[in-house]
């Protein structure tokens, strides 16, 4: 765990485990205390304190002989889908062009590419039946200074035919989909923050518990059919997301709206 963060070590372990619980990483049960000690490089008392905090918040259940299991919250009602806003179409297109430009200006290493049954959340996002076949690809993007981001994408299997490790190592996925006949229409993107776990920290060359930008993006075609779901983790010291804003509206109801979206990395 990074000694530079102004947080007790148990709290750093707690934050990473809480994020992994939110991401449903432990549906089969959490690793044992000794495994967590080895994973985080901390004392057993530190791990226990972090687990006690998670248990007190109702996120995990600890039972002798049965290990530690996550407590899955009741599924919330899905939000009603909103139709695309026509006057934002050009801005969304600009976002997609910017995503491609980032892909063309960085080096990529394809860590894995496989066909699998879609996890429940991915199937829901892509409007597919449960466990429908999808292509999952994990890629590490780098600049001359080193690793920049760890990107995981899911694409319906029928759209990913002919797209493999070799193709993904040479061209951005959006360009490959367009070359396969998919007419890209719009994207919905969310940017938040998370903490690096052991695997991500190793891939990105940072310490466990380091802060990261987390990007979730759903790409749809011109018929509003979901064609790609992406989850990206970016080093904030090498990636910035910039928006140009303008004031519009009447004098009593002026709003900030986006003119341009751009990603900068180094």
Q: Any idea what DSSP says for residue 161? A: T
Give the count of beta carbons closer than 10 Å to the beta carbon of residue 114. 10
Q: For the chain, where are the E strands, in sequence order?
A: 60-63, 67-70, 107-117, 133-143, 146-156, 184-195, 211-221, 226-234, 239-248, 255-265
Contact 233, 156 (CB under 8 A): no
Confidence category of residue 151, pLDDT binned at 50, 70, 90: very high
Higher pLDDT, 45 or 265: 45
Is the pTM here over 0.85, yes or no? no
Residue ranges of domains in the chain, CATH in brackets: 9-70 (1.10.10.10), 86-265 (3.40.1410.10)
CA distance linking residue 27 with residue 155, whole number of Å:
23
d(CA 171, CA 165): 10
Where are the alpha helices (H) located in 126-229, listed in sequence order?
A: 165-170, 173-179, 198-204
Tell me: the pLDDT tens digits for 59-80?
898 887 778 888 876 544 444 4
Position 84 confidence tier, pLDDT thresholds 50, 70, 90 = very low
Which pLDDT belongs to residue 90? 32
For 255, phi then psi, to 5°, come to: -130, 155
pLDDT 10s digits, 204-223 = 998 888 889 998 999 999 99
**Does the pLDDT at position 87 exceed 60?**
no
Q: How does the average pLDDT of the chain come out, rounded? A: 81
Highest mean pLDDT among 68-82, 86-100, 161-175: 161-175
The two tokens of residue 95 are 């976002």
């Amino acid at each position: 765990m990074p000694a530079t963060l102004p947080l007790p070590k148990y709290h750093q372990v707690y934050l990473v485990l809480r994020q992994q619980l939110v991401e449903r990483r432990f549906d089969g049960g959490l690793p044992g205390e000794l495994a967590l000690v080895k994973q985080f490089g901390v004392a057993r008392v530190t791990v226990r304190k972090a687990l006690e905090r998670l248990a007190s918040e109702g996120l995990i259940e600890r039972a002798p002989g049965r290990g530690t299991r996550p407590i899955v919250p009741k599924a919330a009602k899905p939000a009603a889908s909103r139709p695309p806003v026509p006057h934002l179409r050009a801005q969304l297109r600009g976002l997609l062009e910017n995503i491609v430009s980032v892909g063309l200006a960085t080096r990529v290493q394809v860590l894995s590419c496989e066909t699998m049954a879609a996890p429940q959340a991915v199937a829901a996002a892509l409007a597919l039946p449960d466990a429908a076949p999808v292509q999952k690809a994990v890629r590490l993007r780098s600049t001359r200074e080193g690793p920049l981001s760890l990107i995981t994408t899911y694409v319906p299997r029928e759209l990913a035919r002919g797209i493999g490790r070799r193709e993904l190592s040479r061209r951005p996925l959006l360009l490959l989909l367009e070359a396969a006949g998919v007419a890209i229409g719009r994207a919905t993107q969310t940017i938040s923050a998370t903490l690096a776990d052991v695997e991500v920290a190793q891939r990105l060359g940072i310490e466990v518990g380091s802060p990261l930008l987390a990007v979730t993006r759903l790409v749809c075609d011109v018929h509003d059919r979901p064609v790609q779901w992406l989850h990206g983790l970016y080093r904030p010291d090498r990636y910035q997301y910039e928006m140009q804003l303008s004031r519009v509206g009447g004098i009593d109801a002026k709003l900030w709206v986006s003119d341009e979206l751009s990603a900068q990395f180094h």
